């Protein structure tokens, strides 16, 4: 082998970890850029250039999937003949929200400051499908005067919730009914990716632990105590690993039937078999020892 071939081989071997480091750094940068990029969804129902009426701004505050609802914050801005200031009314109005998890029906008098209001919107979905669960809910905001006649209004909705992908879709306006939108809620891509990573990690650790235990069982030597300890640690560590999945609900959802429950069963049975093997070999060794 020439003197030049050895440095070339060393350079080739060096390129592999360098490429791995660069690929990992690229993934980190891509994830940060994805987190920092705007991910909010907006929609409007009604005339965005409304000059005489009530502007209703909607902001999705958070999502509570295990209770099938989303918390919404509404703020109001009277414009034109209805405004005596930024949030002060010149005429009485009545605001009604349909589709909420609870009834919202409030009256505001002339000269009164119309404050922001928090409402709960009902969502339909199945948290048992976690982490592939999705939800949707439709709500409608109606603004009327003291006699019950509809007041011109526009609904401006904005949704950006950490940990979820929330889309505001299907804006609609109905005569004498008000303006409404539909919320569609799913887990964010980052949460989905990390959830599947955790499930893959549990399966990998379980398979490797079983392979290690199988090697101990098939051999004729005494079972190593560290192998027993390793399986025991995994058995009791997996609940914490499972609960580290983002916004993980209680046990019994789809991800548990894909991974967690089967890994716990496999580890538990393997540990029992390994302990039984260790005990049997210890008894056999004691029986063959010569009596003093």
Instruction: Dump pLDDT digits (tens) for 132-165.
Output: 999 999 999 999 988 888 999 999 999 888 888 8
Q: Are residues 62 and 177 in the same domain?
A: yes
Residue 184: predicted pLDDT? 94
Running DSSP on this structure, what letter comes out for residue 151? P
User: What are 229's two structure tokens?
Assistant: 């300890």
Residue 25: predicted pLDDT? 80
What's the domain range around 12? Answer: 1-37
Q: Is the confidence at residue 37, as pLDDT, over 60?
A: no
In the chain, % of residues over pLDDT 90: 50
How many CA atoms are closer than 13 Å to the CA of 252, on its beta-carbon side?
A: 5
Which segments of 44-142 does DSSP mark as H helices, in order? none
Residue 180: predicted pLDDT? 92
Q: Are residues 180 and 196 in the same domain?
A: no
Q: Which of 31-35, 60-64, 227-231, 275-279 shows the lowest mean pLDDT across its residues?
A: 31-35
Q: Are residues 10 and 65 in the same domain?
A: no
Say if strands 117-122 and 69-79 run parallel, antiparallel, or are unpaired.
antiparallel
Evaluate whether 99 touches 138 at the Cβ level (below 8 Å): yes
The end-to-end CA distance of the chain, in Å, is: 64
- Number of domains present in the structure of the chain: 3
Q: Is the confidence at residue 71, as pLDDT, over 90?
A: yes
Q: Are residues 197 and 275 in the same domain?
A: yes
Among 228, 236, 229, residue whose Cα is nearest residue 264: 236
Find the mean pLDDT for residues 32-54. Answer: 77
Q: What is the pLDDT of residues 86-102, one digit of tens each?
A: 778 999 999 999 887 77
Q: Are residues 174 and 213 in the same domain?
A: no
Evaluate whether 190 touches 136 at the Cβ level (below 8 Å): no
Q: What is the mean pLDDT of the chain?
A: 86
Residue 209: predicted pLDDT? 94
Q: Are residues 22 and 80 in the same domain?
A: no
The owner of tokens 């089967």 is: 262
Say if strands 53-64 and 153-159 run parallel, antiparallel, or are unpaired.
parallel
How far are the Cα atoms of 1, 7, 53, 124, 169 from residue 152, in angstroms, in the given order?
A: 87, 79, 5, 30, 21
Q: Are residues 228 and 283 in the same domain?
A: yes
Q: Are residues 130 and 45 in the same domain?
A: yes
Q: Are residues 282 and 232 in the same domain?
A: yes
Q: Are residues 58 and 92 in the same domain?
A: yes
Confidence bin at 48 (pLDDT 50/70/90): confident
Q: Are residues 276 and 161 in the same domain?
A: no
Residue 163: CATH number of its domain: 2.60.40
Residue 185: predicted pLDDT? 93
Confidence bin at 6 (pLDDT 50/70/90): low
Q: Are residues 145 and 69 in the same domain?
A: yes
User: What are 121's two structure tokens?
Assistant: 């919107």
Q: Is the confidence at residue 292, as pLDDT, over 70?
A: no
pTM of the model: 0.80
Q: What is the pLDDT of residues 104-123, one digit of tens each?
A: 889 999 988 888 999 999 99
Which of 187, 217, 243 is the endpoint of a domain? 187
Residue 36: predicted pLDDT? 52
Burial class for 97, CB neighbours closer than 10 Å (0-12, 13-18, 19+): buried
Find the mean pLDDT for residues 9-22. Answer: 72
Confidence bin at 174 (pLDDT 50/70/90): confident
């Amino acid at each position: 082998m020439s003197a030049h071939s050895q440095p070339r081989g060393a350079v080739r071997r060096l390129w592999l970890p360098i490429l791995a480091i660069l690929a990992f750094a690229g993934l980190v940068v891509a994830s940060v850029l994805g987190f920092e990029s705007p991910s909010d969804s907006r929609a409007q129902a009604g005339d965005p250039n409304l000059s005489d009426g009530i502007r209703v701004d909607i902001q999705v505050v958070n999502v509570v999937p295990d209770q099938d609802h989303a918390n919404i914050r509404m703020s109001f801005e009277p414009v034109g003949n209805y405004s005596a200031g930024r949030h002060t009314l010149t005429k009485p109005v009545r605001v009604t929200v349909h589709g909420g998890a609870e009834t919202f029906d409030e009256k505001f008098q002339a000269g009164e400051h119309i404050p922001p209001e928090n409402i709960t919107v009902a969502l339909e979905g199945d948290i048992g499908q976690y982490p592939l669960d999705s939800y949707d809910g439709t709500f409608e905001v109606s603004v009327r005067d003291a006699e019950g006649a509809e007041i011109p209004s526009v609904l401006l909705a904005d949704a950006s919730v950490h940990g979820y992908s929330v889309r505001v879709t299907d804006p609609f306006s109905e005569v004498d009914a008000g303006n409404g939108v539909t919320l569609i809620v799913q887990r964010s891509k980052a949460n989905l990716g990390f959830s599947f990573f955790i499930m893959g990690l549990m399966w990998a650790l379980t398979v490797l632990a079983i392979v290690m235990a199988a090697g101990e069982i098939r051999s004729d030597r005494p079972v190593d105590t560290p192998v027993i300890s390793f399986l025991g640690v995994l058995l009791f560590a997996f609940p914490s690993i499972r609960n580290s999945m983002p916004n993980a609900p209680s046990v019994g959802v789809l991800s548990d039937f894909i991974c967690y429950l089967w890994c716990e069963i496999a580890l538990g049975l393997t540990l029992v078999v390994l302990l039984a093997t260790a005990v049997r070999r210890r008894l056999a060794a004691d029986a063959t020892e010569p009596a003093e």
